[in-house]
């Protein structure tokens, strides 16, 4: 039995089956895109292109769900290599969108063969190398945990796999923090809170918060509904260098190095991301004896804040 025949027999919830289903949908969309004419039927072309652009969500799911499980078994190649190809394909999508917005149809036509070719090449690598080896490497419980975590990121091209009975699956280590089992409040440096209150507070903070411990492992992220950058439960326990695009890893490692040496305590960046201004800050965490205990990454959409002028001292609910 070849791998394609094996995939056909997998249960409908299985992530590998979902990847193959998405590839079938994407191949169809790429054919439609290649056959369409941006000048003669722009609405149709633009609609198909927007569907193809959902490849970003698919790649995000691979980076935050599949790759961490592969790393757990020592296969770091996809995190270190394939992510860079993801970003290159994202750049092509952005370039096409930019030329569409600037009404440059000839530039769009020139870029289309590259987009189609690179997306098809990536699908071939997935189906012939990545997914078959991943299927051999991972255990059934890994795939079940992965399927649960995928809900946070979602799927592409209109694909929505069936769910599984989550009650029969052991939750990922991150799903329920150990302190959640405690019924008493926790004494903090100032005041006290129950585990439920702490979780709620962190969830409703208007920022993306990620804690990386002194061993460079992600141990926490908050699950706010309006996260700037996607996260899923599979990131818990993952080495932080695998949680960033390859082009950013050098900067992240430099920050960690300086934080550990004690030469720096914070770093900040601001970027334009999907029409928003994002402020990203890193803070070194140290105990009372100044021992390095990790770093928190705080990302915030400051688009609205940038526009504030003057003062507002009165309530303005409407």
Q: Token digits for 45?
A: 């072309």
pLDDT digits (tens, 9 = 90+) for 64-92: 999 999 999 999 888 888 999 999 999 99
* pLDDT for the residue numbered 166: 41
Burial 58-69 (b: 16+ CB within 10 A, else e): bbbbbbbbbbbb
Confidence class for position 175, pLDDT limits 50, 70, 90: very low
Element (H, E) at 199: helix 195-204
Q: Token digits for 88?
A: 């290159």
Domain extent, residue 89, equals 3-150
Q: Is the pLDDT of residue 176 over 80?
A: no
* pLDDT for the residue numbered 165: 66
**Which range among 186-190, 234-238, 247-251, 253-257 has the greatest average pLDDT?**
253-257
We report the CATH number of the domain holding residue 268 as 3.30.450.20
220 shares its domain with 109 = no
* pLDDT for the residue numbered 23: 94
Q: Is the pLDDT of residue 146 over 50?
A: yes
Query: 284: exposed, middle or buried (C-beta count within 10 Å: 0-12, 13-18, 19+)?
Result: buried
Instruction: For the chain, state the CA radius of gyration.
Output: 22
Going 72 to 212 to 150 to 173, the CA torsion angle's sign is positive
Is the model more confident about 50 or about 247? 50
Count up the domains in the chain and report the number: 2
Confidence class for position 135, pLDDT limits 50, 70, 90: very high
Report the pLDDT averaged over residues 257-275. Answer: 92
131 shares its domain with 217 = no
Q: Token digits for 229?
A: 């950058």
141 shares its domain with 226 = no
237 shares its domain with 135 = no
* pLDDT for the residue numbered 183: 45
pLDDT averaged over the chain?
87
């Amino acid at each position: 039995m070849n791998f394609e025949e094996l995939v056909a027999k997998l249960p409908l919830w299985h992530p590998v089956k979902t990847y193959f289903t998405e590839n079938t949908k994407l191949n169809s969309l790429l054919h439609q895109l290649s056959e369409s004419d941006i000048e003669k039927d722009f609405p149709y072309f633009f609609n198909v292109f927007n569907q193809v652009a959902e490849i970003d969500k698919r790649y995000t799911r691979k980076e935050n769900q599949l790759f961490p499980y592969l790393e757990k078994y020592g296969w770091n190649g996809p995190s270190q290599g394939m992510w860079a190809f993801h970003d290159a394909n994202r750049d092509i999508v952005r370039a096409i969108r930019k030329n569409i917005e600037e009404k440059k149809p000839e530039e769009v036509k020139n870029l289309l063969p590259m987009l189609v070719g690179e997306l098809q090449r990536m699908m071939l690598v997935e189906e012939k190398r990545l997914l078959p080896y991943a299927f051999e490497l991972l255990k059934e419980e890994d795939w079940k945990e992965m399927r649960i975590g995928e809900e946070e990121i979602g799927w592409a091209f209109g694909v929505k796999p069936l769910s599984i009975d989550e009650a029969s699956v052991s939750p990922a280590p991150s799903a329920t923090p150990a302190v959640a089992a405690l019924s008493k409040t926790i004494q903090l440096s100032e005041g006290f809170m129950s585990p439920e209150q702490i979780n709620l507070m962190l969830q409703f903070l208007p920022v993306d918060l990620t804690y990386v411990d002194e061993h460079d492992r992600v141990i926490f992220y908050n699950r706010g509904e309006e996260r700037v950058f996607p996260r899923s439960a599979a990131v818990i326990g993952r080495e932080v260098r695998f949680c960033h695009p390859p082009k950013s890893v050098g900067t992240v490692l430099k920050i960690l190095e300086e934080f550990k040496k004690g030469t720096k305590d914070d770093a900040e960046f601001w970027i334009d991301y999907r029409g928003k201004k994002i402020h990203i800050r890193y803070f070194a965490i140290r105990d009372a004896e100044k021992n390095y205990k990790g770093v928190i990454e705080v990302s915030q959409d400051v688009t609205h804040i940038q526009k504030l002028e003057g003062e507002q001292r009165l309530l303005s609910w409407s």
